[in-house]
Amino acid sequence: MKKTTTKLADGRELIYYDADDTVVRDTADPRPLEPTSSLSEIRHDPVLDEWVAIAAHRQGRIYHPPADECPLCPSRDGRQSEIPAADYQVAVFENRFPSLAFDAAAHYEGDDGTGSGRTEGPLPHRGRPGVGRCEVVCFTPEHDHAFADLTEERARLVLDTWTDRTAELSAMPGVEQVFCFENRGAEIGVTLGHPHGQIYAYPFTTPRTARMLTTAAAHRTRTGRNLFEDLLAAERATPERVVIAGSHWTAFVPYAAHWPYEVHLYPHRRVPDLTALNEAERAEFPAIYLDLLRRFDRLFLEEGQTVQTSPTPYIAAWHQAPAGRADSELALHLELFTIRRTVGKLKYLAGSESGMDVFINDVSPERAAQRLREVAP
């Protein structure tokens, strides 16, 4: 893999990743852009003991532009995009409208930025600059394609890109966790149709990860074993919920799935993050992941159809240990789920889910796994 780092006209970093070491990426960004600034801050919720990002400047971000004005396509025919090159394989750049940014401290209007907070009545309100980084990952130059349309070689390049970004971002000052993910589909809230994902480098450990670590620690104390190793062993021993079983990875619908169609993908060897995968695990991942995505795109075929009228919306989320925690109890895994529950119907987060965090699933995990096995490409 060849990595080429350059700058966009406003100073944001742009990185090209290529499978071909001979490729030259030297096209400059000719746009007359002003330097960007982030007004992001994070505020502590004392009731739930978690941080919330406040990023009001994102209200002006680009929203559903026409295909010929897509900012993630290569620059062509005098139309300049976020990617100056006329072609690329995988490209990563700093988000122009980030939820977190390293320059946030320079624009913070709260207290001294130490997080000590200020007192308003009897409750100290803790806040600090939203220091971190948000990146956009463009999987392909083809606007009308999807991740599932990639070749195994190109999917491997994306995996290597995620791995490189995890290593680099984890080493940046103040970063506590790196999150690689893809939101796909208008129903999910995607504002740009071009196939892409994002990477967040958080200045704190996310609530979801903190909760998993607490649960894993309790399991270790109670049993002397690792929670995720036990979970994977139990699911692999239950064929009715296994969707794909490889030599190094297993994809399964969890016993207590929250979403109608939800699959977890684990390497058989417990590792804390993407950087710890070995070559055999990296080599097998593309075929299994592409197979999963293609099954998701066949879930809601109507009678007589071979291609869905509307592609399945989904979220694909990598769960990794906090930065620098090679000894973490958390196991690297990917969670893939859709908010669609049947043809033409979505699973909404209503009162129980949004108000109480209690999910009510409309599809049994065993039936979901059976359906995913049935729709193999």
Output the pTM of the full model: 0.94
Q: Which residue has the tokens 């669609």?
A: 340
Is there a contact between 71 and 65 (Cβ–Cβ < 8 Å)?
Answer: yes
Is there a contact between 253 and 263 (Cβ–Cβ < 8 Å)?
Answer: yes
Mean pLDDT for 176-192 is 95
Distance CA 102, CA 10 (A): 15
- Per-residue pLDDT tens digits for 144-161: 999 999 999 999 999 999
Distance CA 253, CA 364 (A): 10
Distance CA 286, CA 163 (A): 14
- Band of pLDDT at residue 195, cut at 50, 70 and 90: very high
Is there a contact between 344 and 323 (Cβ–Cβ < 8 Å)?
Answer: no
pLDDT of residue 111: 59
Spell out the domains of the chain, with CATH numbers in brackets: 2-202 (3.30.428.10), 207-374 (3.30.428.10)
- Band of pLDDT at residue 108, cut at 50, 70 and 90: confident
Q: Which residues are catalytic?
A: 196
pLDDT of residue 117: 47
Distance CA 95, CA 42 (A): 18
Q: Does pLDDT of 330 surpass 60?
A: yes
Mean pLDDT for 38-64 is 84
Mean pLDDT for 209-215 is 97
Two tokens at 301? 């075929």
Query: CB under 8 Å to 360, separation ≥6 — which residues?
Result: 352, 353
Helices and strands (H and E) in the chain: how many? 6, 18
Name the amino acid, one letter, at 173.
Answer: P
Q: Which of 238, 291, 245 is nearest to 266 (CA)?
A: 245
Is there a contact between 123 and 39 (Cβ–Cβ < 8 Å)?
Answer: no
Neighbours of 334 (CB within 10 A): 22
Is there a contact between 333 and 208 (Cβ–Cβ < 8 Å)?
Answer: no
